[in-house]
Amino acid sequence: MPTYDYICDDCGHQFEKFQSITSEPLTTCPKCQGKLRRLIGSGNGFIFKGHGFYSTDYRSEKYRNDKKKTEGSTSKGSDSSSNKTDKKVA
């Protein structure tokens, strides 16, 4: 569920509210019952890991080792098949 920011026009009270996207915006201030405005939020931030890379840019050591094994076994088979297709037909 997204978080929406609100501010009261009468008393200046600011707060955040978790609401469904389909929910109607709030209209009355919980403190003074004044008129509320929904502010434009910045949305969710990015999750960084390390020195400025996305958390999904990193894989576990096990994943990288398994991928190397898989690439090594498929590259041997693909080399022999690529030699067959590279021959020119006269």
Please name the residues in contact with 41: beta carbons below 8 A apart, sequence gap of 6 or more. Answer: 2, 3, 4, 5
Question: In this structure, is residue 67 part of a structural domain?
Answer: no
DSSP state of 23: S
Question: In this structure, is residue 51 part of a structural domain?
Answer: no
* Domain hosting residue 35, numbered range: 3-39
Count the domains in the chain.
1
Question: In this structure, is residue 66 part of a structural domain?
Answer: no
Question: In this structure, is residue 56 part of a structural domain?
Answer: no
Question: In this structure, is residue 46 part of a structural domain?
Answer: no
Question: In this structure, is residue 19 part of a structural domain?
Answer: yes
Most confident residue range from 23-27, 40-44, 68-72, 83-87: 23-27
Q: What is the pTM of this model?
A: 0.46
Q: Distance between CA 44 and CA 2 in Å, rounded?
A: 8
DSSP secondary structure string for all residues of 30-72: TTT--BEEEEPP--PPP-EETTTEEGGG---HHHHHHHHHHHH
pLDDT digits (tens, 9 = 90+) for 32-60: 999 999 987 666 665 566 665 555 566 67
